Structure 1
Amino acid sequence: MAGQSRRHPMLRRSRAMWASRRVWQPRLVFWAGAISIGLISVLFAVLADKAQALFHAVIGNDGGWRFYLPLAITPLGFVLCAWLAHAFFPGSQGSGIPQAIAARHLRDDDDRSHILSLRLVAGKIALTLVGLFCGASIGREGPTVQVGASLMLQAARWGGMAQARGLILAGSAAGIAAAFNTPLAGIVFAIEEMGRTYEARTNGLVLTAVILAGLASLGVLGNYTYFG
């Protein structure tokens, strides 16, 4: 009887804890952030492929006068991207991976917002698509890392989660996993690219984000193979 009386208060406390909004709200926001990373990364991948296909359709492959169009389209596209980045999306410069790494080492949230924000998510995607349409030799791996980190950090702000460094790492890994349908690559990326200060307590965040983002991408595109 004494053992049961001791267990009952523990059960009541456990039930109260799991029923608390403070316990579930951060988790729900985190899960929603991971799923949104998967969906946006897939959309980014599809649009990037279409932008490249459109560029090749414009220049053609018949060897005619359109073969020389990149001499005009590409420089003008670079000028447009530089102007847009400077005027509307400051902080979007760079590949994206160094920015995500730097954000993990910043202590002030205002400083992080200069390189990780929803505005930069839109800017990074738009500028990458414009660059691909103009024939730029760029990829979307780096931008996807910054996009994933930005989305997860914003989700952390909405959910009141305090582990900013671990969440940036989780968002970056989730972006890689969803964009290239490679969950293991997302985890390896988290360890290798951003893992100089890798902490054991972030394991759960990274694994959960990678799984949810990967499932979201699989739900939209199915089990696909990406070479690019």
Structure 2
Amino acid sequence: MSERSFRQSMHLRWHRIWLPRLRRRALFLVGGVVVGIAALVMAFVADFAIDTFAHWQRQWPYMPLLVTPLGFAGLSWLTKRYFDGAQGSGIPQVIAARQLNDLKRKGGLVSPVLAVAKMALLAAGLFAGASAGREGPTVQVGASIMYWLGRFAPHRQPGLLLAGGAAGVAAAFNAPLAGVVFGIEEMSRSFELRTSGLVLGTVIVAGLVPLAVVGDYTYFGRSDIALSVVSEWIWIVPITALCGLAGGAFSRLLIAFTDGLPGRAGRWIAANPVLFAAGCGLGVALCGVLTQGSVFGTSAEHAKAIMAGEGAPIAFGPLKFLATLLTSVSGIPGGIFSPSLAVGAGIAELFADIAPVPIAALTIVCMAAYLAAVLQAPITAFVIVTEMTGNHALIFPVMLGALIASFTSKLVCREGVYHALAKRLLARGEKAPQ
């Protein structure tokens, strides 16, 4: 081969093979940085909204009875009228979008407009007292960012939505391993060898952004508590089974409202979504007033207090369950990750004086169990709670609790809530007029 032919061959190889590969890798890494920044912004805004509402509520204890119903009604109308696709946590939208080939339909579930709207509407909901979290919405925002960046690639890139969603979880919780596991178990339910390295790289970069800004931290602080007595282990079985039934009931009810209740009640809700949202807001406000405001927002601080043995208001767990359900069925944007962890902590509080188990250990196990029951993704729940508490001494009890809860949840609801809602989004699109 002549020198000229060799140069031409290398030139073609560079442009056809190596340059596209470099662009692809750069796309995922840049996307990780952007998703990390977006997650950080959402965290700051969400915390500010929650703190501001809590301050107002302390000044005027009955303010939520007016503000929360009006806020829910306005957000329901605004979301349905202008930002359809931004409802709820956003994770079902990402799961559904990954299964679509129609770019128009996919863009209706993940897009820059929805990402911005999701961030703004979530903040507004927290300002109004919604029992919601930011982690699920961060998944939709992350996937939307990656989907938009994919437009700058020369060819369609597989794994963008998966990488964006997984990076969103990692950055939101400061839990990179949880992001990877969530992407495999919950979003894809398979291991995609072609994109595994790129997804991992995106998750790492997204996780490094908040780490660089706020430093290393665990969501619920660090705990070294352990279970060393057999009698303590025995109590884990019935309590986590109860967590499983509660989580299954939550999923079953949320899916039922999404499908539409039967009879006159279902027809009225379908015809009056804004009034229904206002009624949900009033229910959340009543739960908040009865618990001195503890069920508003994520309730993460109250979960920490329970873990520390400081207790919680009476009926915190059941009323947090109800407030989160009402927020979720109202149609306003908001996630269920953090609220679910708080419900799990509330269930632990119910047994604090009965079970001879250290309250910190029981809280950690119940948080993982209830989350596993709602998602029916025990590995994701176990990894997330372990990373969020920094506790490795409870690995086996937490794993056992997550497995038991996931199994008992299936007795009430056959499928995890995210995948069930994603199927309904896909079915709704198929029935829509073309």
Does TM-score exceed 0.5, indicating one fold?
yes
Structure 2: distance between partners of 1:107 and 1:73: 42
The Cα of 1:111 is off from its aligned counterpart by 1.1
Question: Structure 1 161/222 Cα, relative in aligned 2: closer, same or farther at 3 Å?
Answer: farther
Alignment of 1:58-207 (within 5 A): 58-60=56-58, 66-164=60-158, 166-207=159-200
The Cα of 1:19 is off from its aligned counterpart by 9.7
Report the equivalent of 2:26.
Answer: 28
Structure 2: distance between partners of 1:198 and 1:105: 15
Question: Structure 1 190/84 Cα, relative in aligned 2: closer, same or farther at 3 Å?
Answer: same
Report the equivalent of 2:51.
Answer: 53
> Is this contact kept in 2: 1:41–1:178, CA < 8 A?
yes
Structure 2: distance between partners of 1:94 and 1:105: 19
> Is this contact kept in 2: 1:38–1:212, CA < 8 A?
yes
Between Structure 1 and Structure 2, the one with more helix by share is: 1
1:147-176 deviations in Å (ceiling 9; x for gaps): 111111111112234234x11111000011
Amino acid across the alignment from 1:151: I
The Cα of 1:210 is off from its aligned counterpart by 0.3
> Is this contact kept in 2: 1:96–1:143, CA < 8 A?
yes
Question: Structure 1 13/160 Cα, relative in aligned 2: closer, same or farther at 3 Å?
Answer: closer
Structure 2: distance between partners of 1:205 and 1:191: 13
Structure 2: distance between partners of 1:161 and 1:213: 23
Gaps of 5+ in 2: 221-299, 301-434
Identical-residue share of aligned pairs (%): 48
1:111-143 deviations in Å (ceiling 9; x for gaps): 110010000001111111111111111111211
Amino acid across the alignment from 2:56: V
> Is this contact kept in 2: 1:30–1:159, CA < 8 A?
no
> Is this contact kept in 1: 2:53–2:128, CA < 8 A?
yes
Residue 195 of structure 2 aligns to a residue in which SS?
helix
Structure 1: distance between partners of 2:162 and 2:14: 31
**Larger RCO, structures 1/2 (Cα 8 Å, 6+ apart):** 1
User: Higher Cα Rg: structure 1 or 2?
Assistant: 2
RMSD, matched Cα: 2.5
Q: Is 2:218 the counterpart of 1:225?
A: yes
The Cα of 1:14 is off from its aligned counterpart by 9.5
* Number of residues of Structure 1 aligned to a counterpart in Structure 2: 218
> Is this contact kept in 2: 1:17–1:23, CA < 8 A?
no
Gaps of 5+ in 1: none
Report the equivalent of 1:213.
Answer: 206
